[in-house]
Amino acid sequence: MKKALMIICFIVVLLSIVFSGCTQEESSFNTDTSNTKSSSGSIDNNQIPEPETIETILSKSESIDSMYYEISMNMEMDMDIEMSGFGEQTALIKIWQKDLYIKEEITTETGYINTSILVIQHPDGTYLYDTENDEYILSTDDVYSITSSLQYFDNHMILDYISNLSSSNFKTEMIDGKEATIIEYSPTGKDSYIYVKLWIWNEKGVPLKGIINMSLEEMIMNMEFRYDNYSFSEIPDSVFSLN
């Protein structure tokens, strides 16, 4: 349990660099907004639907009350110093979200070590499943879950970061048959270079894919995330039970 939490906290610390003390670098994107002609041969701007803004796309997630999804994560690290237990890490995270409740089932693999963790977040705190005693225990320490480590996918945070981009035209791409808007930016710190690329599902306003490449003083880290198996059906309250 302690090793698994250390791995998660390590990811959180690294990702926090992305969003603290960083300055936006400008990125530009182009889309085709050429006019079309009506049957009479004249330009008819009324026939061209206005493209959705990124603000409109992201706001769609606010109407989702209940959601299940899975995140596949792959992280590769190249370090100038030897650090036991780190290198390539993979994780499968299953997440149930409903109102203020979140349940996470996290399976990680680092080297030959496999670890599973169950976390349930209630309004009154975060509960970790104790396999030895077969019960959930309220954490008395600061425990960071995978959800909090992936906070750069939070829509409000995304809007904060792209608000200073000079271009508001973003490319689109199909991901598993779903149209997604691509957001790219490079927040940079004093001793780091970071590149972030996100694919946001136009229909629902939630992520489908993400890439983060970091170059720090003694380490290069590349992370890929795939969001799959979304379900927006009502989740029973029993899923978040601590019993």
* Tens digits of residue pLDDT in 114-134: 889 999 999 999 999 999 999
The answer for residues whose C-beta is within 8 angstroms of residue 190's C-beta and 6 or more apart is: 21
Predicted pLDDT of residue 94: 95
The answer for residues whose C-beta is within 8 angstroms of residue 89's C-beta and 6 or more apart is: 7, 73, 74, 75, 77, 108, 109, 110
Q: How many residues does the chain have?
A: 243
This prediction has a pTM of 0.72
Q: How far apart are the first and last CA of the chain?
A: 20
Instruction: Average the pLDDT over 6-13 and give the result.
Output: 40
More confident: 147 or 137: 137
Predicted pLDDT of residue 229: 96
Whether 144 and 102 have beta carbons less than 8 Å apart is answered as no
- Ordered DSSP codes for 145-175: -HHHHTGGG-HHHHHHHHTT-S-----EEEE
CATH topology of domain 2-28+51-233: outer membrane lipoprotein receptor (LolB), chain A (2.50.20)
Cα separation of 8 and 13, whole Å? Answer: 9
User: Counting Cβ atoms within 10 Å, is residue 193 exposed (0-12), middle (13-18) or buried (19+)?
Assistant: middle
In this model, does residue 159 exceed pLDDT 90? no
The answer for residues whose C-beta is within 8 angstroms of residue 199's C-beta and 6 or more apart is: 173, 175, 180, 181, 182, 207, 208, 209, 210
Q: How high is the mean pLDDT of the chain?
A: 76
Cα separation of 83 and 43, whole Å? Answer: 63
More confident: 140 or 174: 174
Whether 172 and 51 have beta carbons less than 8 Å apart is answered as no
Task: Report CA 55 to chain centroid distance, whole Å.
Answer: 17
Here the tokens at position 225 are: 């995330």
In terms of Cα–Cα distance, which of 214, 160, 157, 210 is closest to 180? 210
Predicted pLDDT of residue 18: 34
Q: Give the domain ranges of the chain.
A: 2-28+51-233
Cα separation of 110 and 85, whole Å? Answer: 7
